[in-house]
């Protein structure tokens, strides 16, 4: 059972009653436009929120409180879709059914959440300086480690080449330069802006007393807000191929290709594109894996994925430097084969079957159910229910794949050349 209610403009509660899971889960999602001005402040806010607050002013007190709530879990995460940046607070805890007293734990968890949001560890108009500096240092260390991850680095460089808008080139976790500039004052200001202006969605999955929960959240006294959010980003295709090259003192080289497509969520070619991607590089029987890696031995690793909200399909491969030209030619050949219909009905049906199984398996995860509830609320009639999605998948024919493949146009290539 699922219900949505708005407690004030721009603040919504979503209830998904379910006895399927041993834990209850609450997710609070703050949605804002992706912006160079706020992304780093939000990243640092997320880090501060999951460490300390004025009620539990040390990380030890913070963790002890959670341990006393039957080992409850409290964390934050950052993500993005199109031009929207999300900061999520995730709480999970044992369902009342497994405890001797009723409604106690939900209430205690919401109190804990309230302390995070409304009793942060601050002095005047800034996060506590010493706690803030520790978090800032940790984030900078994490970002430096990410950059050492060569695939992450090449992903970023390809994004810079492919996307025209600066906000689309920016990672969900900001950049080292932006984080370095942040202060305890500027991050606290970003946090206040988040509380006052962001669209807020509360998701409750599990066993909840909806009336009691609604009353509790109403006591948070959120002000009404209206946040303009652009979930879908689409840029024009440019017939100038954008290329990037760098040399690094590493053993493995990486090649990444970005293809432009104009297909959008829920359109007729959306599901054919899903199947096309799976056929191309989503599974072990996919064309890239079988033909480039297995038969020709050109890649250590190879895969494809696409983002329906930003019009880019990415193919990436870890290769030897000397195999660059052959690999790119063979990757392009796989796309050409899809455009020409050079694939069997058996391959198509196997791909559809594997997609169906993976989608059904994902329904056993609370996060999948929450994301579907969120997408349903933001996309409205465009949203494909699970039933509609599976029916649309069944209807995908060979001609549909050929048509969707015809929309793919190579826009950018980035090559990190190793030794």
* 334-381 per-position pLDDT tens digit: 999 999 999 999 999 999 999 999 999 999 899 999 999 999 999 989
d(Cα 325, Cα 296) in Å, to the nearest integer? 13
* Four-way CATH pick for 242-418: 3.30.2090.10, 3.40.50.2000, 1.20.58.340, 3.30.830.10: 3.30.830.10
Can you say whether residue 4 is alpha, beta or left, with left for phi > 0 and alpha for psi between -120 and 50 degrees?
A: beta
Return d(Cα 384, Cα 392) in angstroms, integer.
9
Question: What average pLDDT score do residues 265-279 get?
Answer: 95
Strands (DSSP E) found in 61-180: 73-81, 84-94, 122-123, 126-127
The 3-state DSSP class for residue 252 equals: coil
Backbone angles phi, psi at 99, to 5 degrees: -120, 165
Q: Map out the domains of the chain as residue ranges.
A: 5-219, 242-418
pLDDT given for residue 98 in this prediction: 75
- The pLDDT of residue 160: 97
pLDDT tens for each residue of 284-316: 889 999 999 999 999 999 999 999 999 999 999
Mean pLDDT, the chain, whole residue set: 95
In the predicted model, is pLDDT for residue 102 greater than 70? Answer: no
Among candidates 270, 259, 315, which has minimal Cα distance to 288? Answer: 315
What pLDDT shows up at residue 403?
97
Sign of the torsion formed by the C-alpha atoms of 278, 279, 284 and 290: negative
Cα(205)–Cα(22) distance, rounded to whole angstroms? 11
pLDDT at 222 over 90: yes
232-246 burial code (b ≥16 CB/10 A, e <16): bbebeeeeeeeebee
Four-CA torsion 135, 136, 137, 140, nearest 10 degrees: 120
Six-digit token string for 157: 């460089």
8 Å CB contact between 15 and 2: yes
**pLDDT given at position 202:** 98
Pairwise CA distance, residues 138 & 47, whole Å: 9
Among 90-99, 202-211, 310-319, 401-410, the range scoring the smallest mean pLDDT is 90-99
Please indicate whether the domains covering 5-219 and 242-418 agree at the CATH topology level.
Answer: yes
Q: Which fold has domain 5-219?
A: Cytochrome Bc1 Complex; Chain A, domain 1 (3.30.830)
What is d(CA 89, CA 202) in angstroms, rounded to the nearest whole number?
Answer: 9
Q: What is the CB-side half-sphere exposure of residue 113 using CA atoms within 13 A?
A: 29
Residue 177 region by backbone torsions, left for phi larger than 0, else alpha for psi between -120 and 50, else beta: alpha
Q: Is 1's pLDDT higher than 60? A: no
Q: How confident is the model at residue 162 (pLDDT cuts 50, 70, 90)?
A: very high
Query: How far is the C-alpha of 330 from the C-alpha of 15, rounded, in Å?
Result: 49
Q: Which residues pair with 2 in a beta bridge?
A: 16
**What pLDDT is stored for residue 379 in this prediction?**
92
pLDDT at 255 over 90: yes
pLDDT band (50, 70, 90) for residue 104: confident
């Amino acid at each position: 059972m699922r219900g949505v209610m708005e407690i004030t403009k721009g603040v919504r509660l979503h209830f998904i009653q379910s006895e399927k899971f041993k834990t209850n889960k609450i997710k609070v999602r703050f949605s804002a436009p992706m912006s160079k001005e706020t992304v780093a402040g939000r990243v640092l806010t997320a880090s501060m929120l999951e460490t300390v607050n004025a009620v539990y002013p040390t990380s030890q007190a913070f963790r002890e409180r959670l341990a006393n709530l039957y080992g409850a879990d409290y964390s934050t995460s950052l993500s993005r879709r199109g031009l929207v940046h999300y900061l999520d607070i995730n709480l999970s805890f044992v369902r009342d059914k497994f405890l001797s007293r009723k409604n106690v734990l939900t209430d205690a968890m919401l109190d804990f959440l309230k302390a995070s949001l409304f009793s942060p560890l601050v002095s005047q108009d800034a996060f506590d300086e010493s706690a803030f500096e520790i978090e800032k240092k940790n984030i900078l260390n994490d970002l430096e480690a990410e950059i050492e991850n060569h695939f992450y680095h090449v992903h970023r460089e390809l994004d810079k080449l492919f996307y025209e808008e600066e906000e689309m080139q920016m990672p969900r976790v900001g950049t080292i330069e932006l984080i370095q500039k942040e202060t305890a004052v500027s991050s606290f200001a970003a946090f206040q802006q988040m509380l006052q202006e962001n669209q807020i969605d509360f998701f409750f999955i599990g066993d909840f007393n909806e009336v009691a929960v609604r009353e509790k959240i109403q006591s948070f006294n959120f002000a009404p807000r209206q946040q303009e959010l652009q979930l879908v980003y689409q840029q024009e295709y440019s017939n100038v191929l954008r290329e990037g090259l760098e040399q690094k003192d590493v053993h493995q080289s990486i090649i990444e290709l970005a293809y432009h497509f104009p297909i959008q969520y829920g359109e007729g070619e959306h599901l054919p594109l899903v199947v096309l991607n799976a056929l191309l590089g989503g599974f072990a029987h996919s064309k890239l894996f079988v033909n480039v890696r297995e038969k020709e031995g050109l890649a250590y690793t190879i895969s494809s994925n696409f983002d329906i909200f930003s019009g880019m399909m990415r193919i990436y491969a870890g290769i030897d430097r000397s195999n660059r030209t052959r690999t790119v030619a063979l990757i392009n050949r796989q796309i050409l084969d899809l455009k020409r219909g050079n694939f069997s009905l058996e391959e198509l049906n196997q791909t559809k079957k594997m997609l169906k199984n993976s989608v059904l398996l994902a329904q056993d995860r609370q996060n999948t159910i929450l994301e579907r509830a969120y997408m349903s609320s933001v996309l409205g009639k465009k949203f494909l229910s699970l039933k509609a999605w599976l029916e649309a998948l069944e209807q995908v024919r060979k001609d549909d794949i050929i048509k969707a493949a015809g929309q793919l146009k190579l826009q950018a290539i980035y090559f990190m050349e190793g030794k």
